[in-house]
Structure 1
Amino acid sequence: MTLQTFFVEDNATIRENLIETLLELSDVNAIGYAETEAEGIAWLTDPHNHWDLAIVDLFLRQGSGLGVVAACQNRKPGQRVIVLSNYATLDVRQRCKELGVDAIFDKSNEIDALLDFCMEMT
């Protein structure tokens, strides 16, 4: 099963490299992206948009990934939300868990774990 994946990441270089890596090493289809909290919430909560996985950064050009994650708490069964951040501290991990995040990964050293997560979903 190909994961229909939406990205909430404001850094174009990171986003493009992440998408390229996931396309090459897992069964992911990049269906779009948002660079701000408002854009991410609007897209992910629109019932006309079909997605399996949302990958959300915490620090965005405008707003916060935590707002995006909070807006996704009532997502459909089978939809997964993960956080990919350089700030995956214990406190951040706990807050994400409270908001219903399925997983959180550190950009600097947990990309392999992210890939494993994606492969397990397919």
Structure 2
Amino acid sequence: MPHTLNAYLVEDSRLIRDNLTAALEEMASVKIVGWADGEHEAVAHLAALTPPMAQAPLDLVLIDLMLAQGSGLGVLRSACGHGHGHGARARCVVLTNYATPDMRRECLKLGADRVFDKSNEIDALIDYCLALAEDRPPPPR
């Protein structure tokens, strides 16, 4: 039986945010516990959600690269770098329309665990989340 993943969503499009929240909560054992549409807001919220500040552990951070203010790369750099924060680090996943090979490499270098293309890898994102919720290894990249 899968457990529910607590996730934070960084996405500036309300339509995408609403649709992604509905899909992940319905199909992938994910609960969106907060969101931001810009880099500064996301970094501040994520700092507050990092142990020991958080009341419930944050399992997953979903990040778009193009934001209303700043960039998802800044969120990765500030909040998702390996070893950031105290205790276990939430997995950071980039979900973008700009998943070029170079951008994928840059995101992984900055601390992303995975990079998914919004236009054709939503099923792969759902499979990834389900694997995490079921405590099994995520599908290979």
Normalised-by-shorter TM-score class: over 0.9
Partners of 1:63 and 1:100 lie apart in 2 by 18
Q: What is the alpha-carbon distance in structure 2 between the residues aligned to residue 20 and residue 92 of structure 1?
A: 27
Tell me, what secondary structure is at the counterpart of 2:128?
A: helix
Specify the alignment match of 1:15 in structure 2: 17
2:34 and 2:45 map into 1 onto residues whose CA distance is 9
Kindly state the Cα deviation for residue 78 of structure 1 after the two structures are TM-superposed: 4.9
What is the CA distance between 1:45 and its match in structure 2?
1.8
Residue 36 (structure 1) shift? 0.4
> If the length of structure 1 is used for normalisation, what is the TM-score?
0.95
* Secondary structure of 1:63's aligned partner: coil
Counterpart residue type for residue 75 of structure 2: V
If you compute each CA radius of gyration, which structure gives the higher value, 1 or 2? 2
The root-mean-square deviation of aligned C-alpha atoms, in Å, is 1.1
Deviation at 1:99, TM superposition (A): 0.6
Which structure 2 residues correspond to residues 20-59 of structure 1 after superposition, within 5 A? 20-46=22-48, 47=50, 48-49=53-54, 50-59=57-66
Calculate the TM-score normalised by the size of structure 2: 0.83
Q: Quote the Cα distance in structure 2 between the aligned partners of 1:57 and 1:86.
A: 8
Structure 1 runs not aligned, ≥5 long: none
Paired letter, 1:65 = G
User: Partners in 2 of 1:84 and 1:14 — Cα distance?
Assistant: 11
The equivalent residue for 2:102 is 91
The corresponding residue for 2:139 is: none
Equivalent in 107, 111, 121 of residue 122 of structure 2? 111
1:65 alignment partner, one of 72, 81, 86? 72
- In the comparison of the two structures, how many residue pairs are matched? 122
Unaligned residue ranges in structure 2 (runs of 5+): 134-141
